[in-house]
Structures are given as structure tokens and as C-alpha cells.
Chain A
Amino acid sequence: MAGSTVVSIGLTVNGKAVSADVDPRMLLVELLRTRLGLTGTHVGCDTAQCGACTVHVNGQAVKACTILAAQVQGTAVTTIEGLAAADGAMHPMQAAFKECHGLQCGFCTPGMVMSAIDLVGRHPKASEQTIREQLAGNFCRCTGYHNIVKAVKQGAAAMGQ
């Protein structure tokens, strides 16, 4: 492209309209963290394995380190910061993670919660085995997944009500 070193994009992030001129090689996760100050989306690896950067793009879970900022033009992005209600009340999945002690250091947690909500959308009545298989794209080194699985079950039940 003749001399074009920036790409202009427009999207909504957590319901707010955002526009930005970005380097063509900027990743979505960099846009969120460095331009928009949404540091709840974390980077834990460089091979799209750990899932700490998981966000929703048009309602689907996406690893924000595997998609360019330029690719989310015109989409609606939701991050962990966008889940709670306006008064601060947590989303049922967030509440279930707290209730079930589904987090320890908190670093994988945002990605884990975003993945969990996505999986419940696809499998509203998921069994333990399905939950475990569906969460295989998100690493947690603290919890041994035991309480995360419990939390996803409880969160799924609460979301269904």
C-alpha cells in the first residue's frame, strides 16, 4: 500500500464508540491495553495457547493476541471491564468465580471468565467433561481448574435464570 503506515478503524468497545489510527501490525490486545487503557485483558504467551487475552468480538470468544486491531473494524468488542452492570454488580459468571474460589492470582481470570461465558452460550447445560474440554484453550497455573469447573457450572446455572 503506497505509503500507508496507519489504518483508521472504528468499533465499539464495551458499548462505547472508539476510533483509532493504528499500526497495521498492532494486535487487538495492544489496542485494548495501550491505547484504551483496558489492562484487564492480559498477555500470558506468544503462541496463542494460554487464553489470558480472551475477549468477545461480536459475542464470540477470541484470543486478542491472534487478531489484528485492523481486523476488528466495525465490530463490537467486549472485555472483562465491560461485564459488570453500571452499578458495579458483577455478571453472574464473575459472581460464580468469586463464590466458588475459581481464581487465585487473578492473571488468567479475565480470559477464563470470557471463555466461560462464551462456552455457556454454546453449551448452556455443559457437563463437567464438556466444560473441561471447552476450557482447554485457557491455562490456569494456580487453581488446578477444580474450582473453575465448579464456577462455570454455577455461573451457567445463574445465567440460565
Chain B
Amino acid sequence: MGASDQSVIGQSVRRKEDYRFLTGAGHYTADVYPQHHTHAYFLRSPHAHAKIGKIDTAKAKAATGVLAVFTGADLTGVNGLPCGWLITGSDGKPMNEPPHPVLAQGKVRYVGDPVALVVAETPNQAKDAAELIEVDYEVLPAVVNCVAALKAGAAQIHEQAPGNKCYTWALGDKAAVDAAFAKAAHVTRLDIVNNRLIPNAIEPRAAVATYSRADDSYELYVANQNPHVERLLMGAFVLGLPEHKLRVIAPDVGGGFGSKIFLYAEETAMVWASKKVNRPIKWTAERSESFLTDAHGRDHVTRAELALDGDGKFLAMRVHTVANLGAYLSTFAPSVPTILYATLLAGQYTTPVIYAEVTGTFTNTAPVDAYRGAGRPEATYVVERLVHQAAVDTGIAQDEIRRRNFIRTFPYQTPVALCYDTGNYDQTLDEAMTIADVAGFPARKAEARKRGKLRGIGYSSYIEACGLAPSNIAGALGARAGLYEAGEVRVNPTGSVTVFTGSHSHGQGHETTFAQIVAARLGMPIENVDVVHGDTGRVPFGMGTYGSRSLAVGGSAIVKALDKIVAKGKKIAAHLLEAAEADIEFEDGKFTVAGTDKSKTFGEIALTAYVPHNYPLDKLEPGLDETAFYDPTNFTYPAGTHICEVEVDPETGVVEVVNFSACDDFGNIINPMIVEGQVHGGLAQGIGQALLERCVYDEESGQLLTGSYMDYAMPRADDLPSFKVGTKVTPCTHNPLGAKGCGEAGAIGSPPALMNAVHDALATVGVKYLDMPASPHRVWQAIQAAQKA
């Protein structure tokens, strides 16, 4: 940040966006009702794997209110949905990338795969007509488990992916790792399943597509986290529409958590169909469709090993993971279990050599892609479960084994490609232990024992990499997009400011945080700053919001644009004040000639820029409106320690989270209230994964068994405790805000903390290993099995 009025930075300013949300004035995609709109309904495959014979749509087309019925055969000239990340396998070959048709072509590959689009006057007419479509299915054997999919004789899902393999990819020095293991004093081994999750933003996916014959253009409202990416992928790669003819608006969006990053079939088919029917088409997913078709998360099966010397120093780590990518490659799917996973396996530790091998597989399940944390929770779970178990194996205390291995010199080059710029891991561990009152744990454990409860404590010292960057490195790693962000700062003639950001807010509070940045830099009240996002017709080309990037990358773009505004303002002020530009200082909203009391307010400069009567027109353009693109030079590395305390009832297997403490280092913080809120939400999703949530497909039929809120255990208010959170700050060294990102940390750090606590609690009754979620059923069974053993 440049020097100016900093008083609003670091303040828990109440959110500017809240009034509309609290009074029912939020404007979500499902709230868009264009004149003369029609309704879409998608007929979906009831089978996990089947050949499609004849599709008879005649009765449906003749049904009341139906405008059109489209199947895959109708989509001539429409390409498949593209994948945005190319992984090159360890054999040097590009990944297998089978077609991902918008509507099924000849085959369906998961329950929910869209087969036909019905457009009708009302939602019920569309739904009723879909029931009249006759599809001849030849049902094929299905495979839903990623390990089973690789076995000989497994059902083959794509011709282009023999053995259901997308890629086998590796990172690290295998020979060095094997050598280190050979001389290790101790090796800890774990087999780990990272349970599959369904994101479940409370706003279901939705879209409203409108075609205008007047100028041959399209407008799409869609619940999406990155409208420019959506427009680029849909326009350029699938439908062949140029950007200037396709406007994508992601208005208020009711949560994303990754699941709304991706280009989906539904909105793509609707944009195409909107021209055919020449009427706006509206669609909102039913929740059961969300369960079936939103991209899922996680789903890894891993063998992990950690080699230690006699003093508990980590010598090497070896990880083999099979990742389920689902039936088709979703937009960023291939990068999640590779680039965003294996690169995080160093964690906070000096492990000198690491080798990871990942096989991505196709199965007859919904596509799997980024979900809050995306690869980093999976990596953290591997590292922190290994570290916990290594401490148990070697008899070293949980905090001590971490301290013996912490990275303390920065920048630090890990053996898995990343270079950490800064951090202080002792500081966050110390603070987390204070918040958690670790000293009082033995007494609490003894007291719980008297009540018949098993109390355990678990640690997780996590690292994450946010703000995926820079573009050229990411490109070399297979990214098919840039990873910068854009921001425009438009100063209006009377001095108020409108900011246009390529970031997208779907709960993160950018309208407030970004306004604080602008208000601080320009020395004005935040009421004078409005933030516009989510509309390709209004904001410059941006990459949207994912990967905890918005402040570090999007915020930095705004800072760069503000720098340009201030620089131009100095030129105008120098002219008005008849001084040299170099002598003009800008602080607290005033341009001053250094060492004098001659000054002009920011508002006067703004007005002069737009009413340039006394203005250096020969040297300077009028107006005060600047755009900047910021491409980071590195990732940012938030880190921290989470400590969880649980009580297990051995009679019922019920695990209660009785204490959850976190100390995080997110770098500089603009709005602590919003940051804490992000941590709380992340913790809830991480605790949800560890305690409650698990997506289950039937192994035989491939049917989704957890297809509603009756079957999929979403965390409710009474499942969670209040959280104790704190922060420590080491500013990021390479972006102008010193910010690192906070959106995903909670979901990354918390699952291993909770599971380590459960293992600690159950150690006293002989339970050695348990996979997530630690449901009462599983815990009770593990206790019974241990007692019999």
C-alpha cells in the first residue's frame, strides 16, 4: 500500500452488501424473470453406464406448452465442453482427454448425465414432457470406485482412455526418496481414503439465457464464480460465439466453494437453444440435480509413507494416490490431484526429498473438480495424519515433532516445486496452543474419563498455496488460461469512485473489503466507493474467484490501478499548483506541494480531470479512470495450526467437537470480521468432511445413494461448536497488500486436526486407524473391532 489514510485498513467495517441481502433485495440468477421467458428441464440418465439406442421425442414435442426438445443429435456444430488444464503424464504423453458432450452422444456415463433438453412455457410442462421421451438404453456394467476402475476387467468408460486412466503423473526425485527410506531409522505408513464430498452451495445452480435477434447477441445470467472464464470457454470453445456477442452476468451468487467455477452443460445448451426458440430460457437446478451433477470434490485413495531419523527428523516422504476424476473431465479437474496436491506435500516441514505419484481415473460418477481447498486439503490430510502417526510411533509429543521439522528460513525452496516466501510456523503453533489451552488438556481428559467419555486432542499445522501464479509458470504446468486479475478504478467527476473488478464475490464481502482498500488509498469514506463485479459487459476481463485469490490477486490489481490514479492526479495537481510533479505528495485525500500548505483535494483533481479548462491538455488526457492487470510473481502461502479437541462416547460412537482452536497467518488483513467469517465457514466444511459428509455411490448399480439432504449429512447448527480463532501476521513479500488469502484455510487445516483428535481419543481403547467421516457407526464399529482383537 502507498501511504495514505490507513485508518480503515484492519477495521471490521460492517458489510456494504448486507442491507440488500437482509431485506430480500439480493438479486440471484433465479430472481431473473425476463418477459416471455420459457423454462428448461433436463432429462437425465437414470443409469450409471449405458449405450443409447433410439430416442423418441415425438410425444414430448407434441405435449402441451412445449416449444422444443433437443438431444445430442440436434447439437450439430456444437463442440464438447473443454478442459482447462492439460496434465502431461510421467510417460511424457498428454493425458487422455475424452470428449465431454453437452448432451449425451451415443452413451451415458453417470447417473444424471444430461440426455435431452425440453423447453416449455412452464417448469411443470417441461418436466411432464420429459417423462414422455422414450430412450432405449442398453445398460452396461458400471464402476464407481477409482481403484476398482483401474483393475483388469473393469467396465471401460471411454474409448479414448484405455484402462479408465486419464494420466499417471509424478513429482519429485524417486531415487533419492527410495535411498532415504532405505537408511531411515523409522518409517510410518498409512493407507488413507479422502472421502468424496458434494459441495452444496445453498443456492442451486441456475441460468437464464436470452438471445436477441436485434443484434445477434446472447445474454446469460448464471450462478458462476468467474463469468469471463465461462464466456471464453463457452463462446470460443463450444458454441463458436465471439466475446462481443455473448454477455455473461453472474449477479448475486449464493455460495460457490468451487462448484460454480466450471462451465457446465446446462447453461451451454440453454444459450445454444435460446436462439433456436428465440425466447429467453430459465432453469434452476432442483437440489436432487445439484447432488447428481454439481462437480464433486476430493475422492482420493492414498498410500503414504514418512521416513524419519532417530531424532524424529523427517528424511523423506513417498505418496501414491489414485484420484477419482468422475465420468468426464470437468473444467479444472486434472490439476486438482496433481499441481494443487503434490506440490503441498512439504507442508510446514523441511522434509528434504518427496516423491508423489498420482493416477487420475475415470469412473461412472459425476465429474470431480475443485471444492474448497482443491487438492490442498487432500495434501494436508496426508501430511498431518502421517505426522500425527509418526509422533505416536516414535513417542515424541505432537507439538515437539512438528517443531523439530519446521521450516524457519525464508524464502524456502521445497522439493515439490514451490518456493515459500515467508512464514513463522512456531508463532502460529504457539498461539494455537495458547488459544486451545493445551496445558489444561490432561485435566479435561481426566474429567471426561469420569463421565465415561474418551477425550482426545489433535493438531494440524497446514500450509496452503493461494493465488495460483504466475501465468507463464502455470502455463508451463499445463494451465490453458492466464492467472492474473484485472481491476478498473473509475473516478467520477465529483470524486466518488466506482471499482470494476474481475474478482467475483459470492459471500466473501468484496464490496466492502475492496472499498476499504480504495477508501484508504484515496482518503475518502468507504460510502464514496462502490464495487462492481460479475458482468462481462461492465468489468474488464478477469479470472474470477477461486483458490483464495481475490484479495492477493484481485486486490493487488486494484492497488495497481490506484497507483496510476494517484500518479495522474499528481500531474494534474502539479499543473494547478504550478509546482514540479516530483514535489507533489498525496496523503489523506490531498495533493500537497511538499513542505508547503499549497494543496488540492482529491475531489478538486477529479473535477479538473473531467472539466479540463485549466489543464495540461497538450501533455495529459482528460479523465481519471485507470485499469490494471496484476499477474503475481508467486503463490502466496497462508499457514497456521488448528487444534481440535473431541469427546467420544464409547457406548454410541458419537464424536463431539468440544473445542476447536485455530491460529492462522493470512498476511496483512483488511477486514478482520470478514476474515474470521471465512475461517468459520471453512472450518465448518472441514469438520463436515471429517465428521459427517460422505458421498456414496452404489458399487453395483452406480446409483447415487446420498442424493438428498435426507441422506447426505450436511453440518447443521447443532453439529458444530463455536470456534476460537486468532491470527498472526507475516506479510506476503511479493504483492502490494502483503495479503495471502483466507478463504480455504479452514477447510484445509481442520479435517486432520479433527481426525488426529479422534485417533488420540480412541488410542486408549486400541483403535489404530479410521477413515473420514468419523460417524457414530464407524467409530462404534472400530471400537468393537479393537476390543475383539
Contact = CB atoms under 8 A, between A and B. Distances in A.
Nearest to B288: A46
A54 interface: no
B253 interface: yes
A141 B678 CA distance: 11
B447 interface: no
A145 B720 contact: yes
Interface in B29-61: 30-31, 33
Interface residues of B, number: 59
A106 B507 contact: yes
Interface string B580-604: 0000000000000000000000000
A107 to B, nearest CB: 3
Contacts of B124: 25
Chain B interface, DSSP helix/strand/loop, else mixed = loop
Contacts of A135: 716-718
A104 B252 contact: no
A141 B202 contact: yes
Indicate the member of A38, A133, A147 with the most B CB atoms within 10 Å: A147
A161 interface: no
A80 interface: yes
Contact of A49 (B19, B509, B684, B709): B709
B162 interface: no
Is chain A's interface secondary structure helix, strand, loop, or mixed overall? loop
B18 A103 contact: yes
Interface centre among B12, B22, B31, B683 (most CB of A within 10 A): B22
A138 B682 CA distance: 18
B200 interface: yes
A40 B26 contact: yes
Interface residues of A, number: 56
A101 B673 contact: yes
Contact of A50 (B25, B27, B202): B202
Contacts of B200: 139, 141
Given A44-B202, A105-B253, A90 B24 contact: no
Given A94-B23, A143-B680, A144-B683, A105 B202 contact: yes
A148 B204 contact: no
B679 to A, nearest CB: 8
A117 interface: no
A28 interface: no
Q: Which of B21, B25, B26, B676 has the largest number of chain A CB atoms within 10 A?
A: B21
Given A44-B204, A108-B202, A149 B717 contact: yes
B121 to A, nearest CB: 13
Interface in A124-159: 128-129, 131-133, 135-136, 138-149
B287 interface: yes
A110 B716 CA distance: 17
A11 interface: no
B286 interface: yes
A144 B22 contact: no
B14 A99 contact: yes
Nearest to A106: B21
A88 B30 CA distance: 25
B364 to A, nearest CB: 24
A105 B202 CA distance: 9
11 contacts: A39-B27, A45-B708, A101-B673, A104-B508, A105-B254, A107-B255, A133-B718, A139-B200, A144-B720, A144-B723, A145-B680
Given A106-B252, A109-B21, A144-B720, 12 more contacts: A44-B287, A49-B709, A50-B287, A105-B255, A106-B18, A106-B21, A109-B26, A135-B717, A139-B200, A141-B201, A141-B684, A145-B717
